[in-house]
Amino acid sequence: MPIPFSRQILIAVAVMFGAVTQASAQDDPRSYVLATAQEGGTYYPVGVALAVLSTIHLVGPHGVSVEAVISGGSIDNLRMMREGEAHFGTMEVQSGVWARDGTGPFEEAGPQDNLRAISMLWPDVEHFLLNTSLVDTGTIADLAGLEARGFAMGPLGSGTEYINDVLFENLGFDYESWGMVFQSYDQSVQALQDGSIAGVNIGSGIGVSSVTHALTEMGELLTLLSVTDEQAEQMDGGRGILATTLIPPGTYPGIEAPVQTITLPNFLAVNADVPEEDVYQFTRTVFENLEYLCEVHQAACAMSVEGAQLGLPVDLHPGAARYFEEVAQ
């Protein structure tokens, strides 16, 4: 079972107080910021867990602390890292590709040359939710009938917004006529409940709390749409990034049969100028505590040393590379 947020925060605060004396003994304490996303997704709870781990394992012996902060998600995290507001960030691989190449939302800013990778994370599972009154085929094709009923695209300027743009454009949807709104996942679920919107895509790790809440509160009034193989291929647009997966029965209230959807990979990024030793210790701490991260959120159970470097959009940071070289011996 995921650890409640209130408990995570209490643990973090308690440990911080216990570590103050140890940290004060460090000659050169370093404090870093990890940009995550809004509450209601996966980046934030796992980010808080990473901050807790850094407090427990890194503050005393190494003088390194990491603070997890709420943000607008992948695109905002990259902006924060570029502008020196954050040092680490969780993000979609596609957002990393855009930043690396200076394309998409980063065309004006140009390539983000300071971007490095620590590890692949878990795949984002795309949850397309639609008011059941508009459902015909039960697949994502039903979104074409939204008209102006309202669809939540994610926070304005977020990776979710840009990803939705690409997916819906590849499907040939006239999504700009849907009455788009730009808000967090939790806000979108509330909007579904009060009827101000009729659909949302929540891209997050499997078992995400906002989808659980939506289906608990709305029951049969809300449908989790499936994605066919043909639709997935069309949505990918030849990029080779998307994959299909099955959401198992029982993952969410009322889901009694597998639902096929698409996934997008995520990774943990860091700025190149963060010292090698600090990134090494942080990477080591992450992978020596995967069981704890899995307890915090089931999406993190997909993380592994074996898959850590598969599909990274940018070069590994030397500190992370050093850790993976050690465990491979």
DSSP β-bridge partners for residue 201 = 128
Token pair in block for residue 148: 């102006």
For the chain, what are the domain ranges? Answer: 5-121+267-328, 124-264
Among 3.40.50.300, 3.30.70.260, 3.40.190.10, 3.30.750.24, what is the CATH number of 124-264?
3.40.190.10
Q: Going residue by residue through the chain (329 aa), what tens digit of pLDDT does each one get?
A: 444 443 444 344 444 434 333 333 345 789 999 999 988 889 999 999 999 999 999 999 999 999 999 999 999 999 999 999 999 999 999 999 999 999 999 999 999 999 999 999 999 999 999 999 999 999 999 999 998 999 999 888 788 899 999 999 999 999 999 999 999 999 999 999 999 999 999 998 899 999 999 999 999 999 999 999 999 999 999 988 899 999 999 999 999 999 999 999 999 999 999 999 999 999 999 999 999 999 999 999 999 999 999 999 999 999 999 999 999 98
Q: What residue has token string 């040393």? A: 305
In 3-state terms, what secondary structure has residue 174?
coil
Alpha-carbon distance 255 to 129, whole Å? 12
Q: Look up the pTM and report it.
A: 0.85
Q: β-strand 222-224 against 259-271: which pairing, if any?
A: unpaired
Among 326, 323, 322, 316, residue whose Cα is nearest residue 115:
316
Residue 209: burial class (beta carbons within 10 Å; 0-12, 13-18, 19+): buried
- Listed in sequence order, the DSSP H helices in the chain are 5-24, 43-57, 59-62, 74-82, 93-101, 159-170, 185-194, 209-218, 229-236, 276-287, 290-296, 318-328
The answer to whether 5-121+267-328 and 124-264 have equal CATH topology is: yes
User: Yes or no: is domain 5-121+267-328 CATH 3.10.129.10?
Assistant: no
DSSP assignment string, 132-155: GGG-SSSBGGGGGG-TTS-EE--S
